[in-house]
Amino acid sequence: MRHLSILGYYFAQYIKIRLAYPGDFLIAVSTSLAGTVASFGFLYILFHRVSSLQGWAFEELLFIYGFNLVCLGLFNVLSMNLYEFGERYIMEGRFDQIMLRPLHSLFQVIFEAFRIESFQEFATGLVVVGYVWHKLDLPLTPLDLVLFLLMTVCGVTIYLAVFVMLSSLSFWFEDRVGVSPPVFNMIAFGRYPVTIYNVFIQFLLSWIIPFAFASFYPTTYFLQRHEFSSFFALVPVVAATFVLLALFLWSRGVRGYQSTGS
Amino acid sequence: MKLTPYIAFARIAFLKILAYRLRYYTGIVTYMVNVSVYYFIWKALYRGKESLGEFTFEEMITYVSVGFIIRTFYFNNIDREIANDILLGHIAAKMTRPVNYQWMNIAQAAGESFFRLFMFTVPTALAILVVFPLRAPASLHSALAFLAALLFSFMVFAALNFLVGTCAVYLHSILGLIRAKYFLVEILSGLLIPISFFPDTLAEISRWLPFQLISFTPLMIYMGKFQGEELVTSFLLGLGWTLVLVGLGHWFWRKAATKLTVQGG
């Protein structure tokens, strides 16, 4: 509870910072929205000549893409500091300040900054998912809604866990850029049915960097592709496992942290 | 216009980036990931089909791969750098220099691109060649014309970025604008899908825009699909758009510079 109210303060504080320039914020949101809409251009152009991708219809791919955007949008709102963790917190020594406060260090790092305009990705994703749900006349029971919510939480959690692990590496290796960019690009892999990939990439996306569990597998239940139901059932397990791994790695890093003294 | 100071800017940019060469190793992996995603998507789309549009599967993979390979060359962050200059106030010191701000940025980007050519483009090309079956340029003639067309890729991309960067004078943050431009260029330059694949109206619109010169035009030249008259037209377009965009940037910057407010610095 205490954490929740502190989170509220962090968020309110950050909103104030961003709304100091309301015109700019509006432009940031609308250009960000334009970017998201344009990113659907790829699917649209591709499918105006081809009717399906290995048995997956355009609408189904839209659903996966939309669901991915829901999770990714929320993750983007929260992940702003993770990318710059190595530079901002370790190299510039800001982590000292974090250590002095009586709150979990990871909580502080994640919630100190928000990429607020990414809420539009979340919203756009929901609109797309809703559209396909309606268009394909997919069943919608209260249980489906609960599962959708659960899958969204799991998806966001998996992304956060993976990138927290990568940021933790900054405790041992001082590097400004780190290994995040190629991993971030791999999120794109998860936006398509894993069956189009070769065995190596399927394995990688499922068990090493489990992005397929954050976008493709969760959608298979709603799209009634029951051949993936065992993967669907594993989504929360994978999310929980990776969170534990991430927390473990992070706390190991914190324990060995030596200030740069700046 | 004296050229010497601009060559010096290019040289310093080259040396500065040499210090950060580590990030290019992860860059190579990033590009490999990109090419792999599109390889598998196209493979799935081509299943059971000889060709789509005017492209065979092998040609499409060559198109996408070479597209990403040349992106390692023409890409630059002029827009981000201008925004940073303005945000941090470095702009004040830079404007006192007796050089043209636009050309200073383009020269720095050229120095970076020259560096990338050896440290990034060549290794990425080699890595991709090992994994994916690429076709060689259609002919020696096509290869040379392709290299010349890359010059326009660079200039159009740089001039566009300068225009976007200059918006930072009026806006507090141009990150959203940069993001929108990123996706727009990715699609309309034909990097991900050849423009000849677009729905007719979108293809027609794209032909009247400068973005095609960044990726589609050089790639079509590489594959020998633009020859003779089409080749001449594309070079004239390249020259025309470069002049227009650089001219526009010059005018926009002159106008924006009078509105510039620097917060300390």
Residues B241-246: contacts with CB under 8 Å, at least 24 apart? B241/B152, B241/B156, B241/B210, B241/B213, B242/B152, B242/B155, B242/B156, B242/B159, B244/B210, B245/B155, B245/B156, B245/B159, B245/B160, B245/B163, B245/B210, B246/B102, B246/B106, B246/B155, B246/B159
Count of domains forming chain A: 1
| HEC sequence for B145-209 | HHHHHHHHHHHHHHHHHHHHHHHHHCCCCCHHHHHHHHHHHHHHCCCCCCHHHCCHHHHHHHHCC
- Chain B residues touching residue A198 (CB < 8 angstroms): 40
Q: Which domain holds residue A162?
A: 2-255
Q: Given B171, B184, B198, which is nearest A45 (Cβ)?
A: B198
A175-202 pLDDT, tens digit each: 655 677 788 888 888 889 999 999 999 9
Q: Taking Cα atoms as reference points, which of B149, B165, B145, B154 lies closest to residue B227?
A: B145
In a domain, A261, yes or no: no
**Residue ranges in chain B modelled with pLDDT below 70:** 1, 18-23, 263-265
In a domain, A140, yes or no: yes
In a domain, A52, yes or no: yes
Cross-chain Cβ contact B41/A196 below 8 Å? yes
Q: Given B27, B45, B52, which is nearest A53 (Cβ)?
A: B45
Task: Compute the C-alpha angle B178/A216/A162, nearest 5°.
Answer: 65
pLDDT score of B244:
97
In a domain, A24, yes or no: yes
- Chain A residues touching residue B176 (CB < 8 angstroms): 27-32, 35, 117
Helix (H) or strand (E) holding A99: helix A95-100
Size of interface A-B (CB pairs under 8 A): 100
pLDDT score of A247:
95
In a domain, B127, yes or no: yes
- A174: contact with B, CB 8 A cutoff: no
In a domain, B265, yes or no: no
Exposure of A147 in the CB half-sphere (CA atoms within 13 A): 17
Count of domains forming chain B: 1
pLDDT score of B21:
65
In a domain, B39, yes or no: yes
Decide if A66 contacts A125 (C-beta within 8 A): yes
Cross-chain Cβ contact A31/B179 below 8 Å? yes
CB neighbours of residue A9 within 10 Å: 10
In a domain, B196, yes or no: yes
In a domain, B263, yes or no: no
pLDDT score of B27:
84
**Residue ranges in chain A modelled with pLDDT below 70:** 174-178, 260-262
The C-alpha atoms of residue B51 and residue A156 are separated, in whole angstroms, by 39
Residues 33-92 of A with CB under 8 A from B: 34-36, 38-39, 41-42, 45-46, 48-50, 53-54
Cross-chain Cβ contact A28/B173 below 8 Å? yes
pLDDT score of B263:
65
- B136: contact with A, CB 8 A cutoff: no
In a domain, B264, yes or no: no
- A260: contact with B, CB 8 A cutoff: no
Cross-chain Cβ contact B30/A54 below 8 Å? no
A34-74 pLDDT, tens digit each: 888 888 888 888 888 777 888 899 999 999 999 999 999 99
Q: Which domain holds residue B233?
A: 4-257
Rg, chain A, Cα only: 19
Cross-chain Cβ contact A185/B30 below 8 Å? yes
Q: Which of A25, A26, A30, A49 would you mutate first to test chain B, the one with the most B CBs within 10 A?
A: A49
- How far is C-alpha A101 from the chain's CA centre? 27
- Chain A residues touching residue B173 (CB < 8 angstroms): 21, 24, 28
Specify the residue for token string 């590496």.
A169
pLDDT score of B19:
64
- B172: contact with A, CB 8 A cutoff: yes
Helix (H) or strand (E) holding B258: none
